[in-house]
Amino acid sequence: MRIRGAGRIARAAAEALMEHAKLVEAESPEEFRQTMLEAARHLLATRPTAVSLKNGLLHSLKGLKIQLPGDGASADVEALRTGMIEAADRFIAFSNGAVAALAEHGSKRIKDGFTMMTICNSSAAVGVITKAHRDGKKIKVYACETRPKRQGLITVRELAAAGIDVTLIVDSAARTYMKQTDLVFVGADTVTAQGNVVNKIGTSQVALCAQEARVPFFVCAESYKFSMDTLEGDLVEIEEREPEEIADPSDFPGVKFGNPVFDITPAKYINAIITESGLIPPQGAYDVVKTLKEELDDTQL
């Protein structure tokens, strides 16, 4: 599974589980449940640190908890199958709706004539900005290149295609252009229970520059990007990627490479986290996580 973007990953996982549910053969509800859980665990193992993946699976697995007719194994298995398919479907619809709702909420912050900055390629952040443009506001965007993988190139293409005035800058120029920036919108890979945000490397530097210049900094994150495990103190594991993303190591004998894919933006540099339910103070993440824990039984996985 080589999908990019926490939201896309979550939906893909739900879809995979749904497809699996359609095909699985089982003698008993127990066996069906077991098979689905195994499938979910298998999917989770492909990216054990992806919070949205885990949450997407848990949302879908709620389908295993439906009331069974109890009139024999095969009817019960079919009821579970339907439950699973519906739950996964519901999550996919919810996820797509969440991005739209988030764009609606966030775009209200953008006034006519405003200039935004973003980093990486967050569909949620792009959605917020595009919504403002579609609402007829005259806006401008600075998009950071986002080394090493340069996802900013996708962002500028998307924004330019939407007809938005967008300027590509290198990541190091964020502080220089911050003086002409009114608002920053970024995405999130994971939000911790303490309101810190794990996102593409460079995000926290942009946040620091925004803070220094009194520019509001907003994080766009659907609720399934909030990590329940961090409430118990778990650290979000940050993957170290291959040096080749930066340069060809064979050209640089004796040189080491440091390539962490994410960094952590502390809550104190964030004005609000924009979720499908609205703009919450970053410390409100604690509340979101508590609600998630009630809703999703994470002991299953």
Find out whether 222 and 95 touch, Cβ atoms under 8 Å. yes
In the complex, the smallest distance separating the C-beta of residue 151 from its own copies, rounded to whole angstroms, is: 12
Interface mask toward its own copies for 155-184; x: CB under 8 A: -xx--xx-x-xxxxxxxxxxxxxxx-----
In the complex, the smallest distance separating the C-beta of residue 134 from its own copies, rounded to whole angstroms, is: 16
Does residue 148 touch its own copies according to CB under 8 A?
A: yes
Does residue 109 touch its own copies according to CB under 8 A?
A: yes
Distance CA 169, CA 173 (A): 6
Distance CA 36, CA 21 (A): 7
What residues between 7 and 26 interact with its own copies by CB under 8 A? none
Does residue 263 touch its own copies according to CB under 8 A?
A: yes
Interface mask toward its own copies for 189-228; x: CB under 8 A: ----xxx-----xx-xx--xx--xxx--------------
Distance CA 157, CA 165 (A): 11
Find out whether 114 and 182 touch, Cβ atoms under 8 Å. yes
What's the length of the chain?
Answer: 301
Does residue 241 touch its own copies according to CB under 8 A?
A: no
Residue 2: exposure state from Cβ atoms within 10 A (0-12, 13-18, ≥19)? exposed
Stretch that binds its own copies, among 26-34, 81-89, 183-191, 246-254 (CB under 8 A): 246-254
- Selected from 30, 138, 235, 237, the binder of its own copies by CB under 8 A is 235
Does residue 154 touch its own copies according to CB under 8 A?
A: no
Distance CA 115, CA 137 (A): 11
Residue with tokens 């403002």: 132
- Selected from 48, 232, 294, 299, the binder of its own copies by CB under 8 A is 232
* Crossing angle of the two packed helices 123-134 and 152-161, in degrees rounded to 10: 20
| Number of residues counted as binding its own copies (CB under 8 A) | 84
Comparing CB distances to its own copies, the nearer of 31 and 263 is 263
Stretch that binds its own copies, among 23-31, 51-59, 70-78, 144-152 (CB under 8 A): 144-152
- Name the residue type at position 275: T
Comparing CB distances to its own copies, the nearer of 1 and 161 is 161
Does residue 100 touch its own copies according to CB under 8 A?
A: no
What residues between 116 and 135 interact with its own copies by CB under 8 A? 119
User: Among 34, 42, 46, 39, which Cα is nearest to 9's?
Assistant: 46
C-alpha dist (Å) from residue 68 to 73, 86, 183: 10, 14, 51
Cis peptide leading into 29, omega within 30 of 0?
Answer: no
Stretch that binds its own copies, among 14-22, 24-32, 45-53, 285-293 (CB under 8 A): 285-293
Find out whether 230 and 193 touch, Cβ atoms under 8 Å. yes
User: Known catalytic residues?
Assistant: 120, 189
Stretch that binds its own copies, among 5-13, 19-27, 88-96, 261-269 (CB under 8 A): 261-269
